[in-house]
Amino acid sequence: MAGTETTYDIREATPDDVPEIARIHVDGWRETYSGIIPDDHLQSLTYEEREKMWSRGIPAHRKVGTPILVAEEDDGMIVGFAVAGRSNSSLDGYDGELFAIYVHCDRKGRGIGKLLMGESAARLLSVGFTSMMLWVLRDNPTAGFYEHLGAHRITSRTVEIGKKQLPEVAFGWKNLRTLVDRLKR
């Protein structure tokens, strides 16, 4: 219908969402990391493996109060997801971590990532977290998204993916409230 704008609902993921989360995750890696991560590694990723991973992840995150979130179009299609929780990193001053945020390849540039980021940050804040960080491959073309949202580069490290050493950068927000307020505008 011409003139109709799609709306997005951000909600907690359910087991029924697992196949689409897995598809978005694998397709997102293949699109985003083509030319960065070895092609044979990207092609070895399977929807089935990711479905197993997310089937375990949904109840685990819900149990600790930091559920996996999905972005759903008004027609019910899942078009993105985000995962945040207690930081696994030992970076001083960062208690929360964004582990993953992916938007369907055909839906990028529509504000879905900002909606997922805003709700993830708000949920962390609501359960007592005060800051948030994330790791992103240095050559990830979407790394500027985080800087645009006010993140600061914290540090870097090297990780091995697909038998290749890759530089990774940590971004962070010392004040989670500032990020939440920024994304409400």
Return phi, psi of residue 109, to 5°. 85, 10
Q: What is the mean pLDDT of residues 86-113?
A: 90
Return mean pLDDT, the chain: 92
Q: H or E element: which one contains 73?
A: strand 69-73
Residue pLDDT, tens place only, 135-175: 999 999 888 999 999 999 999 999 999 999 999 999 999 99
Q: Which of 76, 58, 79 is nearest to 67 (CA)?
A: 58
In this prediction, residue 77 carries a pLDDT of: 93
pLDDT of 84 > 90? The answer is yes
Local confidence band at 2 (pLDDT 50, 70, 90 cut-offs): low
- For residues 51 and 44, give the distance between their C-alpha atoms in angstroms, rounded to a whole number: 14
- Is 54 in contact with 22 (CB distance < 8 Å)? yes
Local confidence band at 3 (pLDDT 50, 70, 90 cut-offs): low
Packing angle, helices 112-126 and 176-184, rounded to 10: 140
Residues of the chain above pLDDT 70, percent? 97
Domain ranges of the chain: 8-130
Residue pLDDT, tens place only, 17-34: 999 999 999 999 999 999
Single pTM value for the model: 0.92
Residue pLDDT, tens place only, 39-49: 999 999 999 99
71-80, 101-110, 166-175: the lowest-pLDDT one = 101-110
Q: What is the mean pLDDT of residues 68-85?
A: 95
Local confidence band at 121 (pLDDT 50, 70, 90 cut-offs): very high
CATH topology for 8-130?
Aminopeptidase (3.40.630)
Local confidence band at 4 (pLDDT 50, 70, 90 cut-offs): low
Local confidence band at 5 (pLDDT 50, 70, 90 cut-offs): confident
- For residues 70 and 8, give the distance between their C-alpha atoms in angstroms, rounded to a whole number: 10
In this prediction, residue 1 carries a pLDDT of: 46
Q: Which string of DSSP letters, residue by residue, matches 146-167? A: HHHTT-EEEEEEEEEETTEEEE
Residue 66 has a CB neighbour count (10 Å cut-off) of 22
Joined tokens for residue 177: 């409230």
